Structure 1
Amino acid sequence: MSDVTILHNSRCSTSRAAMGRLDEAHIEAEVVDYLRHPLDAVALGDLLDKLEDAPTDLVRRDAYFAELGLTEADVETREQVVAVLTEHPRLLQRPVLVKGGRAIIGRPKERVAAFLAE
Protein backbone atom coordinates (compact mmCIF):
# COMPACT_ATOMS: atom_id res chain seq x y z
CA MET A 1 0.00 0.00 0.00
CA SER A 2 1.25 3.47 -0.89
CA ASP A 3 2.02 6.13 1.66
CA VAL A 4 0.79 8.82 -0.73
CA THR A 5 -2.43 9.14 -2.68
CA ILE A 6 -2.83 11.63 -5.49
CA LEU A 7 -6.15 12.75 -6.91
CA HIS A 8 -5.02 13.17 -10.48
CA ASN A 9 -6.24 14.49 -13.81
CA SER A 10 -3.85 13.54 -16.60
CA ARG A 11 -5.06 16.48 -18.73
CA CYS A 12 -3.87 18.99 -16.10
CA SER A 13 -0.25 20.19 -16.37
CA THR A 14 -0.04 20.91 -12.64
CA SER A 15 -1.27 17.42 -11.85
CA ARG A 16 1.23 15.92 -14.30
CA ALA A 17 3.99 17.98 -12.65
CA ALA A 18 3.02 16.51 -9.27
CA MET A 19 3.27 13.02 -10.76
CA GLY A 20 6.76 13.97 -11.97
CA ARG A 21 7.72 15.05 -8.45
CA LEU A 22 6.57 11.72 -7.11
CA ASP A 23 8.70 9.93 -9.71
CA GLU A 24 11.73 12.10 -8.94
CA ALA A 25 11.37 11.32 -5.24
CA HIS A 26 10.96 7.59 -6.02
CA ILE A 27 7.62 7.58 -4.23
CA GLU A 28 5.01 5.12 -5.37
CA ALA A 29 1.60 6.66 -5.01
CA GLU A 30 -1.91 5.41 -5.30
CA VAL A 31 -3.23 7.36 -8.28
CA VAL A 32 -6.94 8.12 -8.24
CA ASP A 33 -8.43 9.36 -11.49
CA TYR A 34 -11.21 11.27 -9.78
CA LEU A 35 -13.06 11.94 -13.04
CA ARG A 36 -13.43 8.21 -13.72
CA HIS A 37 -13.87 7.34 -10.06
CA PRO A 38 -15.52 10.36 -8.40
CA LEU A 39 -15.39 10.70 -4.64
CA ASP A 40 -18.67 10.24 -2.85
CA ALA A 41 -19.85 12.49 -0.03
CA VAL A 42 -18.21 10.34 2.66
CA ALA A 43 -14.84 10.28 0.87
CA LEU A 44 -15.01 14.04 0.28
CA GLY A 45 -15.76 14.57 3.97
CA ASP A 46 -12.76 12.42 4.92
CA LEU A 47 -10.60 14.40 2.51
CA LEU A 48 -11.77 17.70 4.00
CA ASP A 49 -10.91 16.40 7.47
CA LYS A 50 -7.29 16.03 6.32
CA LEU A 51 -7.07 19.08 4.08
CA GLU A 52 -4.76 21.83 5.27
CA ASP A 53 -6.43 24.30 2.93
CA ALA A 54 -9.84 25.87 3.45
CA PRO A 55 -12.67 23.60 2.24
CA THR A 56 -13.78 26.17 -0.33
CA ASP A 57 -10.30 26.05 -1.91
CA LEU A 58 -11.05 22.50 -3.07
CA VAL A 59 -13.47 23.90 -5.68
CA ARG A 60 -12.10 25.18 -8.98
CA ARG A 61 -13.43 28.55 -10.07
CA ASP A 62 -13.18 28.14 -13.83
CA ALA A 63 -15.40 28.59 -16.86
CA TYR A 64 -17.33 25.41 -15.98
CA PHE A 65 -18.03 26.82 -12.49
CA ALA A 66 -19.48 29.96 -14.11
CA GLU A 67 -21.32 27.93 -16.77
CA LEU A 68 -23.10 26.04 -14.00
CA GLY A 69 -24.22 29.38 -12.57
CA LEU A 70 -22.34 28.81 -9.33
CA THR A 71 -21.09 31.66 -7.16
CA GLU A 72 -18.94 32.01 -4.08
CA ALA A 73 -22.13 31.80 -2.02
CA ASP A 74 -22.60 28.23 -3.30
CA VAL A 75 -19.28 26.98 -1.86
CA GLU A 76 -18.91 28.85 1.42
CA THR A 77 -19.48 25.95 3.78
CA ARG A 78 -18.05 22.46 4.06
CA GLU A 79 -21.49 20.97 3.33
CA GLN A 80 -21.87 23.09 0.20
CA VAL A 81 -18.40 22.07 -1.02
CA VAL A 82 -19.26 18.39 -0.57
CA ALA A 83 -22.59 18.83 -2.37
CA VAL A 84 -21.08 20.71 -5.32
CA LEU A 85 -18.15 18.31 -5.74
CA THR A 86 -20.37 15.25 -5.42
CA GLU A 87 -22.56 16.56 -8.22
CA HIS A 88 -19.73 18.07 -10.31
CA PRO A 89 -16.46 16.17 -9.72
CA ARG A 90 -14.89 18.10 -12.59
CA LEU A 91 -14.72 21.10 -10.24
CA LEU A 92 -12.33 19.35 -7.84
CA GLN A 93 -9.11 21.32 -7.58
CA ARG A 94 -6.12 19.28 -8.69
CA PRO A 95 -3.87 17.74 -7.85
CA VAL A 96 -4.69 16.80 -4.28
CA LEU A 97 -2.08 14.81 -2.36
CA VAL A 98 -2.82 12.81 0.76
CA LYS A 99 -0.12 11.48 3.07
CA GLY A 100 -0.99 10.03 6.44
CA GLY A 101 -3.52 12.26 8.13
CA ARG A 102 -2.71 15.29 5.97
CA ALA A 103 -3.77 16.51 2.55
CA ILE A 104 -2.89 19.50 0.40
CA ILE A 105 -3.90 21.00 -2.89
CA GLY A 106 -0.77 20.87 -5.04
CA ARG A 107 -0.98 24.49 -6.17
CA PRO A 108 1.33 26.21 -6.58
CA LYS A 109 3.51 23.37 -7.84
CA GLU A 110 6.21 24.10 -5.25
CA ARG A 111 3.93 22.90 -2.45
CA VAL A 112 4.20 19.31 -3.67
CA ALA A 113 7.95 18.93 -3.10
CA ALA A 114 7.75 20.42 0.40
CA PHE A 115 4.80 18.18 1.31
CA LEU A 116 6.53 15.04 0.05
CA ALA A 117 9.72 15.92 1.92
CA GLU A 118 7.94 16.14 5.29
Structure 2
Amino acid sequence: MSLSIFHNPACSKSREALALLQSRGLQPLVIDYQQTPPSIAQLRELLALLKLPARELMRRSEEAYARLGLDNPALGEGDLLAAIAAHPILLQRPIVVNGQRALIARPPELLLEFL
Protein backbone atom coordinates (compact mmCIF):
# COMPACT_ATOMS: atom_id res chain seq x y z
CA MET A 1 0.00 0.00 0.00
CA SER A 2 1.32 3.43 -1.00
CA LEU A 3 0.48 5.75 1.88
CA SER A 4 1.69 9.32 2.33
CA ILE A 5 0.71 12.39 4.30
CA PHE A 6 1.30 16.03 3.39
CA HIS A 7 2.12 17.14 6.90
CA ASN A 8 2.73 20.35 8.82
CA PRO A 9 4.31 19.47 12.19
CA ALA A 10 3.15 22.83 13.62
CA CYS A 11 -0.52 21.95 12.95
CA SER A 12 -2.41 20.05 15.66
CA LYS A 13 -4.81 18.44 13.15
CA SER A 14 -1.89 17.28 11.04
CA ARG A 15 -0.15 15.81 14.10
CA GLU A 16 -3.41 14.09 15.12
CA ALA A 17 -3.83 12.57 11.67
CA LEU A 18 -0.26 11.26 11.64
CA ALA A 19 -0.69 9.82 15.14
CA LEU A 20 -3.95 8.14 14.11
CA LEU A 21 -2.22 6.49 11.14
CA GLN A 22 0.68 5.35 13.30
CA SER A 23 -1.67 4.02 15.99
CA ARG A 24 -3.10 1.71 13.32
CA GLY A 25 0.39 0.37 12.62
CA LEU A 26 0.77 2.38 9.42
CA GLN A 27 4.00 4.16 8.58
CA PRO A 28 3.18 6.70 5.87
CA LEU A 29 5.73 8.63 3.90
CA VAL A 30 5.67 11.97 5.73
CA ILE A 31 6.02 14.96 3.42
CA ASP A 32 6.70 18.20 5.26
CA TYR A 33 5.26 20.28 2.44
CA GLN A 34 6.66 23.53 3.79
CA GLN A 35 10.19 22.13 3.62
CA THR A 36 9.54 20.33 0.32
CA PRO A 37 6.73 22.21 -1.45
CA PRO A 38 4.78 20.25 -4.05
CA SER A 39 5.21 21.26 -7.67
CA ILE A 40 2.30 22.46 -9.74
CA ALA A 41 2.25 19.02 -11.41
CA GLN A 42 2.05 17.31 -8.01
CA LEU A 43 -0.74 19.67 -6.96
CA ARG A 44 -2.65 18.79 -10.13
CA GLU A 45 -2.27 15.10 -9.25
CA LEU A 46 -3.61 15.77 -5.76
CA LEU A 47 -6.59 17.64 -7.21
CA ALA A 48 -7.35 14.72 -9.50
CA LEU A 49 -7.22 12.27 -6.58
CA LEU A 50 -9.28 14.54 -4.33
CA LYS A 51 -11.77 15.37 -7.10
CA LEU A 52 -11.85 18.98 -5.94
CA PRO A 53 -11.28 22.38 -7.53
CA ALA A 54 -8.03 24.18 -6.68
CA ARG A 55 -9.69 26.68 -4.35
CA GLU A 56 -10.74 23.80 -2.05
CA LEU A 57 -7.06 22.89 -1.69
CA MET A 58 -6.37 26.30 -0.13
CA ARG A 59 -6.43 27.54 3.43
CA ARG A 60 -8.49 30.69 2.98
CA SER A 61 -7.84 31.82 6.55
CA GLU A 62 -4.10 32.27 5.92
CA GLU A 63 -2.87 35.85 5.78
CA ALA A 64 -1.20 35.15 2.43
CA TYR A 65 -4.58 34.28 0.87
CA ALA A 66 -5.90 37.80 1.48
CA ARG A 67 -2.57 39.55 0.84
CA LEU A 68 -2.21 37.88 -2.57
CA GLY A 69 -5.82 38.64 -3.55
CA LEU A 70 -6.62 34.96 -4.01
CA ASP A 71 -10.29 35.51 -3.26
CA ASN A 72 -10.61 36.98 -6.77
CA PRO A 73 -13.11 34.71 -8.59
CA ALA A 74 -11.45 35.53 -11.93
CA LEU A 75 -8.35 33.55 -10.93
CA GLY A 76 -8.13 30.21 -12.67
CA GLU A 77 -6.93 26.83 -11.45
CA GLY A 78 -3.41 27.49 -12.76
CA ASP A 79 -3.20 30.80 -10.89
CA LEU A 80 -4.30 29.20 -7.64
CA LEU A 81 -1.95 26.23 -7.99
CA ALA A 82 0.95 28.59 -8.75
CA ALA A 83 0.13 30.50 -5.56
CA ILE A 84 0.14 27.30 -3.50
CA ALA A 85 3.44 26.19 -5.05
CA ALA A 86 5.00 29.57 -4.25
CA HIS A 87 3.41 29.84 -0.78
CA PRO A 88 2.98 26.28 0.56
CA ILE A 89 1.44 27.58 3.80
CA LEU A 90 -1.71 27.97 1.68
CA LEU A 91 -2.02 24.20 1.21
CA GLN A 92 -4.88 22.62 3.14
CA ARG A 93 -3.63 20.11 5.68
CA PRO A 94 -3.24 17.30 6.31
CA ILE A 95 -3.71 15.54 3.00
CA VAL A 96 -3.44 11.76 3.08
CA VAL A 97 -2.85 9.81 -0.12
CA ASN A 98 -3.57 6.09 -0.17
CA GLY A 99 -2.86 4.60 -3.59
CA GLN A 100 -5.19 6.29 -6.07
CA ARG A 101 -7.29 8.02 -3.41
CA ALA A 102 -6.69 11.14 -1.34
CA LEU A 103 -8.41 12.90 1.53
CA ILE A 104 -8.11 16.22 3.30
CA ALA A 105 -8.18 14.79 6.81
CA ARG A 106 -9.96 17.60 8.62
CA PRO A 107 -11.05 16.44 11.07
CA PRO A 108 -8.54 13.57 11.38
CA GLU A 109 -11.36 11.15 12.25
CA LEU A 110 -12.30 11.16 8.56
CA LEU A 111 -9.33 8.82 8.13
CA LEU A 112 -11.21 6.05 9.94
CA GLU A 113 -13.59 5.64 7.00
CA PHE A 114 -10.89 6.38 4.40
CA LEU A 115 -8.43 3.65 5.36
> What is the TM-score of this pair, normalised by structure 2?
0.87
**Shift, 1:52, TM fit:** 3.7
Aligned match of 2:55:
56
State the distance in 2 between where 1:19 and 1:74 align.
Answer: 34
Deviates more, 1:79-88 or 1:30-39: 79-88
Q: Which runs of 4+ in 1 moved over 4 A?
A: none
Aligned match of 1:90:
89
Contact residue 70 and residue 80 of structure 2 kept, 8 A: no
State the distance in 2 between where 1:113 and 1:5 align.
Answer: 15
1:73 aligned counterpart, secondary structure: coil
Letter in 1 for 2:102: A
Number of aligned residues: 115
Aligned match of 1:104:
103
State the distance in 1 between where 2:73 and 2:100 align.
Answer: 27
Residues 99/71 of structure 1: CA separation in 2 closer, same or farther (3 Å cut)? same
State the distance in 1 between where 2:74 and 2:8 align.
Answer: 22
**Shift, 1:72, TM fit:** 2.3
State the distance in 2 between where 1:115 and 1:52 align.
Answer: 15
Contact residue 74 and residue 80 of structure 1 kept, 8 A: no
Contact residue 65 and residue 71 of structure 2 kept, 8 A: no
Unaligned runs of 5+ in 1: none
Letter in 2 for 1:110: E
The CA RMSD measured in Å over matched residues stands at 1.9
Letter in 2 for 1:21: L
Contact residue 56 and residue 76 of structure 1 kept, 8 A: no
**Shift, 1:45, TM fit:** 1.0
> What is the TM-score of this pair, normalised by structure 1?
0.85
Aligned match of 1:41:
40
Could you report, residue by residue, the CA deviation over 1:71-105 in whole angstroms, capped at 9, with x for unpaired residues?
42268642232111011111101000001111111
Aligned match of 1:14:
13
**Shift, 1:111, TM fit:** 1.0
Letter in 1 for 2:56: D
